[in-house]
């Protein structure tokens, strides 16, 4: 399915780019150095309506398309990946599970502040002993009935690498937990909304990460965390399936983030190669440099085509195996292309590329996680192979 961005999409792109270049770019190097999560800027993003792009108007959203969300993520990611992932996770992993699977009461309780960007929500799937094999989750939730007739979920366990999970404006984290055992012996996994601040729910100290220094990322621990029975998200026993469906959308959004990174590298290299001179001429006049930058342009255009093709499928209501395949292909190509792009950009900048004063150094650190989050490159290859009908295990 070919994609075509409308004039409205391009106008929206320019508005997000203006915000990113005016409000984020001048401050991002210091934020990165300080590992500072800029809550005021996140709220500005909310005021611009970025968290509510795809949300219904009844919850304060714009009821817009998925393509517009990808455009916003790309443009933020072009300036800084941490800010881009804050939006991506806030919508794809925070808002969407509640919007898609929540009851009307849950939507009314959580969505207005999340859509407004005044609060953030996390998505707790990965565990210390269960990464790509998410079905190996050991976090447990037991339904405890009181004498008065009420019932509460009692949650024990841990999650790791959870974005938007421990900031001052985090409102809740949706987690997967074992809620029983099926007749065939496999675990019954359900999704439960845990409000931040619930006794026993602890966001541990933030990670000391290679990249994404501005992003809010924590390990979480749950010790006899009690929430009422109505905090179950969706149907009991369907939590794992719900989260897998959530990840399909998230993979396209991560692809948009990766495209932003490639474009950021391309923009920086074009400018630098036109200004930096050696032997009396700009380095961009040398084929050895110019050809590398040309490769960046190819990666950006190819990645953008794959990403927005998948987004167009989402907007057209194309689901199932076709969308899953497109999402995995877009995520695999763009994430690996982004890693290559940062290597090329750092090489073009030479010694300066190794210095934190230039954005390509930050891009280099930020890129690697794109091949890991939302399903590793190995997982994407496995899914793509299965989509081709291969009996890969």
Each residue's pLDDT tens digit, 137-167: 899 999 998 755 579 999 999 999 999 999 9
Counting other chains too, the contacts that 371-379 makes at CB distance below 8 Å and 24 or more residues apart are 371/335, 371/336, 371/339, 373/161, 373/254, 374/247, 374/250, 374/251, 374/254, 374/331, 375/132, 375/247, 375/251, 375/328, 375/331, 376/132, 377/332, 377/335, 377/336, 378/132, 379/132
pLDDT value for 1: 58
- What does the pLDDT average to over 295-313? 98
Q: How confident is the model at residue 133 (pLDDT cuts 50, 70, 90)?
A: confident
pLDDT of 281 higher than 80: yes
Task: Say if residue 100's pLDDT is above 90.
Answer: yes
What does the pLDDT read at residue 149? 59
pLDDT tens, position by position, 213-248: 999 999 999 999 999 999 999 999 999 899 889 999
Give first-to-last CA distance, the chain, whole Å.
Answer: 29
Q: Are strands 170-181 and 151-163 parallel, antiparallel or unpaired?
A: unpaired
Q: Which pLDDT band, with edges at 50, 70 and 90, does 75 fall under? A: very high
β-pair type (151-163, 217-228): antiparallel
Token output for 272: 């630098």
**329-345: average pLDDT:** 98
The residues spanned by each domain of the chain are 7-118, 122-236, 241-387
> 269, 346, 337, 331: which is closest to 301 by C-alpha?
337
- Would residue 147 show up in a list of annotated catalytic residues for this protein? no
Does the domain spanning 241-387 belong to CATH 1.20.1070.10? no
Residue 365: predicted pLDDT: 98
pLDDT of 134 reads 67
pLDDT of residue 390: 98
Res 296: pLDDT: 98
C-alpha 230 chain-centroid distance: 27
Which whole number is the average pLDDT over 10-22?
98
Question: In the predicted model, is pLDDT for residue 254 greater than 90?
Answer: yes
Mean per-residue pLDDT for 197-206?
98
**pLDDT score, position 150:** 73
pLDDT score recorded for residue 83: 98
Distance CA 124, CA 141 (A): 14
Which whole number is the average pLDDT over 157-179? 97
368-393 residues labelled b (16+ CB within 10 A) or e (exposed): bbbbebbbebebbebbbebeeeeeee
**Residue 4's pLDDT band (boundaries 50, 70, 90)?**
confident
Over residues 354-385, the pLDDT tens digits come to 999 999 999 999 999 999 999 999 999 999 99
CATH class of 7-118: mainly alpha
User: Does residue 60 carry a pLDDT above 90?
Assistant: yes
Among 127, 152, 336, 374, which one carries the catalytic annotation? 374
Classify domain 122-236 at the CATH topology level: Butyryl-CoA Dehydrogenase, subunit A; domain 2 (2.40.110)
Total-model pTM: 0.96
């Amino acid at each position: 399915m070919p994609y075509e961005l409308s004039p409205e999409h391009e106008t929206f792109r320019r508005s997000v780019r203006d915000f990113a270049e005016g409000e984020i770019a001048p401050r991002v190097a210091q934020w990165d150095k300080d590992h500072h999560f800029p809550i005021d800027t996140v709220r500005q993003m909310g005021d611009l309506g970025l968290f509510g792009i795809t949300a219904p108007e009844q919850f304060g959203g714009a009821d817009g398309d998925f393509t517009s969300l990808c455009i916003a993520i790309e443009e933020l990611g072009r300036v800084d990946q941490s800010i881009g992932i804050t939006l991506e996770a806030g919508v794809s992993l925070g808002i969407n599970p509640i919007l898609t699977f929540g009851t009307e009461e849950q939507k009314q309780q959580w969505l207005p502040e999340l859509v407004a960007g005044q609060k953030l929500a996390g998505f707790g799937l990965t565990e210390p002993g269960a990464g790509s094999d998410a079905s190996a989750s050991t976090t447990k939730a037991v339904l405890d009935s009181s004498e008065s007739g009420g019932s509460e979920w009692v949650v024990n366990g841990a999650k790791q690498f959870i974005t938007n999970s421990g900031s001052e404006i985090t409102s809740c984290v949706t987690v997967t937990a074992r809620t029983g055992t099926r007749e065939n012996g496999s675990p019954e996994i359900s999704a439960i909304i845990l409000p931040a601040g619930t006794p026993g729910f602890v966001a541990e100290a933030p990670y000391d990460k290679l990249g994404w220094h501005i992003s809010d990322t924590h390990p979480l621990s749950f010790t006899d965390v009690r929430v009422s029975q109505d905090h179950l998200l969706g149907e009991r026993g369907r939590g794992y399936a719900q989260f897998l469906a959530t990840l399909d959308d998230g993979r396209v959004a991560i692809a948009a983030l990766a495209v932003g990174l490639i474009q950021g590298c391309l923009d920086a290299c074009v400018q630098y190669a036109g200004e930096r001179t050696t032997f009396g001429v700009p380095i961009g006049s040398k084929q050895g440099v110019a050809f590398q930058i040309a490769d960046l342009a190819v990666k950006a255009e190819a990645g953008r085509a794959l990403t927005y093709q998948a987004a167009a499928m989402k907007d057209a209501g194309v689901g199932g195996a076709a969308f899953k395949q497109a999402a995995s292909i877009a995520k695999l190509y763009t994430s690996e292309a982004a890693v290559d792009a940062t290597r090329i950009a750092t090489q073009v900048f030479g010694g300066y590329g190794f210095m934190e004063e230039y954005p390509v150094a930050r891009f280099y650190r930020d890129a690697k996680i794109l091949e890991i989050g939302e399903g590793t490159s190995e997982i994407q290859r496995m899914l793509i192979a299965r989509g081709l009908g291969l009996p890969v295990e």
